[in-house]
Each structure stands twice: as structure tokens, then as C-alpha cells.
Amino acid sequence: MNGTLYLCATPIGNLGDITGRVLQTLNEADMIACEDTRGSLRLLSHFDIHTPMTSYHEFNKYDKAHTIIGMLKEGKNVALITDAGTPVISDPGEVLVRMCREEGINVTSLPGPCACITALSLSGIPGRRFCFEGFLPHDKKERAFVLTELKRESRTIILYEAPHHLKATLSVLYETLGDREIAICRELTKRFEEVKLTTLCEALGFYEENEPRGEYVLVAAGRDPEEAASEERRKYEELTIEEHVKQYEDGGMDHKAAMKQAALDRGIPKREIYNALHKT
Ligand code: SAM
């Protein structure tokens, strides 16, 4: 019988946050796959865990996944941990989980610390609807694509950032999103935990004077839906009614549907569109 892959969340700072289930699984597993064996050794030694370890990281995620799948097929139980927090969340694990799914190998998750959720809950920014972007991509094209998407985003936006990139990221967010509310969440669960609820403009000023230190999660307010709606309306008001309807027809809509959509966009009755188009 196949073994099970256990996805184990580990503390993001405070060792007291490890769960009882994770400790038991790490003790009982045949193997612990971890991102950095030296870093994880500190964690495991702290809890007096002596299970054998193997490395599983970004640079061996395909080859090593085959080896781990082999162990699971031999009936061994494998626990996957990363340097901190929940596997897969801006961390290795996705490829291995996918392969297990494809091979019909059981995978289970032992939930626990995760920096993005900890930050969101602490931020004071609405948490009902949110999107998690992780780290902004370094590749210029990918980054431009993500930023264009974020510009339209009305949900709360969560990002990870390293201290040496924080100022540049705040600056690009300011250029893209304008001045928005942002919670800068630092050193979560650690001694110097701090949440600064501010605006992008104020934050830029602050970090001109103060060098960023520690680990950061950024929680930015989404685009104000009222503002988005009035911006859309302004965009349509620049078009004549004829141009507006034609735009939809050119996109493949029939005349009636195009008139209906234009009326909706402009917040006016359909009859007004009809009268404008068919006046003699
Ligand atoms: N898998 C992890 C999780 O579940 O949150 C995230 C790993 S990602 C490689 C590391 C990033 O998470 C850091 O650069 C930082 O943005 C964020 N992070 C991790 N621990 C944090 C902490 N204690 N305080 C603030 N941010 C943290």
C-alpha cells in the first residue's frame, strides 16, 4: 500500500505556533522532505525529532519529486516542510502534490502558520474578499502583466516582500495603484512584530528615512468600486452613443444586445440609446 504525503505547516517565527499534529507527524514519518536541511535541523532539534531528512527545494523540485514518489509507492510516509509557514504558499510543494494527485497517492494537509493569512487578519483592511499575489515577479514582462491585473483589482491585495526590495515595491505599487491604504506587516509572531496601517505615499516617505529590516507582508486595499464605476462611466462618456454601440457590434454582439449593454454602461434607459441612434 502507498504511503501518505503530509504537508506540514511550520512556525513563521514563534516556535510555540507548531501544532501537536505536526509534531506527531514529523516524529512518526519515515522521511522529512525539507527546503533547507540545515535550517530545518534547528527546528527539529528544538523539538527533539530525529526523523531522517532529505532536501526538496526549488532547484530539484522535479527530479526529487520522482524520488519521493518512489518512497511513497514503497509504503513510506513522507512529511513535507519548508523553511517557514505552509508548503506551496510561495514555497516548494506544488509539483510534488500534483504528481501525487496524478499517481493516486494520498496527500493530506496539517494546517498551521501562514504569513499571508496572519497579516490579513491583523491588518485592519477588509478581509472578506482578497487575492494573494506572493512576490511580484522579477521578470519585467510578467511583472507588467501582474501590475496591470492589480490595477483593476477590487479585492484586498496581499504581497510578500524581502526587506531589500521593499522600497522599490512600495514605489511601483504607488505608481500603479495611486495612493491607497496599506498595512505593512513585519516580523509576524516574533518579538518585534509590527503592523503599520498607513498609505502608500506615507509609507514611501517613512522608508526614505528608515531602512527596512525583517520579513514583510503587504496588505493593500483593493480598488474602490465606486471610483472604478465612475472611471468606467467617464470612459464611456468620451464616446458618442454611436461609437459605443458600434464597439460592441464590432466585438460580435447583435444590434439589440449592443444597445442594451451600452445603456447599462452609461446608466441610462435603453430608449435613450434607441432614440439617439434612430433619430431622423
Ligand atoms: N510559505 C510561507 C507562508 O506560508 O507564509 C511563505 C514563504 S515565502 C518564501 C517567505 C516570505 O513570507 C517572506 O519573504 C515574507 O514576505 C513572508 N513571511 C514569512 N514569515 C514572515 C513573518 N514572520 N513576518 C512577516 N512576513 C513573513
10-residue block means of pLDDT along the chain (280 residues)?
97 98 98 96 97 97 97 98 98 98 98 98 98 96 96 96 97 96 98 98 97 97 86 82 92 92 89 85
Query: What are the residue boundaries of the structural domains of the chain, listed by start?
Result: 4-113, 116-223, 226-277
* Residues framing ligand 1 (Cβ under 6 A): 12-13, 82, 84-86, 89-91, 114-116, 160-162, 185-190, 215-217
Q: How far is the CA of 245 from the centre of ligand 1 (A)?
A: 48
CA angle 118, 123, 127 (to 5 degrees): 80
Spatial neighbors of 279 by CB under 8 A, at least 6 apart, are: none
The C-alpha cell that represents 8 in the structure block: 506540514
* Pocket probe mutation, ligand 1, options 132, 135, 160, max atoms within 8 Å of Cβ: 160
Domain 4-113 has CATH 3.30.1490.100: no
CA of 112 to the centre of ligand 1 (A): 13
Q: Grid coordinates representing 76?
A: 513510506
Q: Distance (Å, rounded) from C-alpha 218 to C-alpha 131?
A: 12
Can you identify the CATH homologous superfamily of domain 116-223? Answer: Tetrapyrrole methylase, C-terminal domain (3.30.950.10)
Q: How confident is the model at residue 230, as a pLDDT?
A: 79
For residue 179, the surrounding DSSP H or E stretch is none
Give me ligand 1 centre to Cα 8, in Å. Answer: 15
pLDDT given at position 280: 57
- Ligand 1 centroid to Cα of residue 27, in Å, is 25
CB atoms within 10 A of CB 252: 8
Q: pLDDT digit string (tens) for 179-214?
A: 999 999 999 999 999 999 999 999 999 999 999 999
Q: How far apart are CA 161 and CA 135, in angstroms?
A: 6
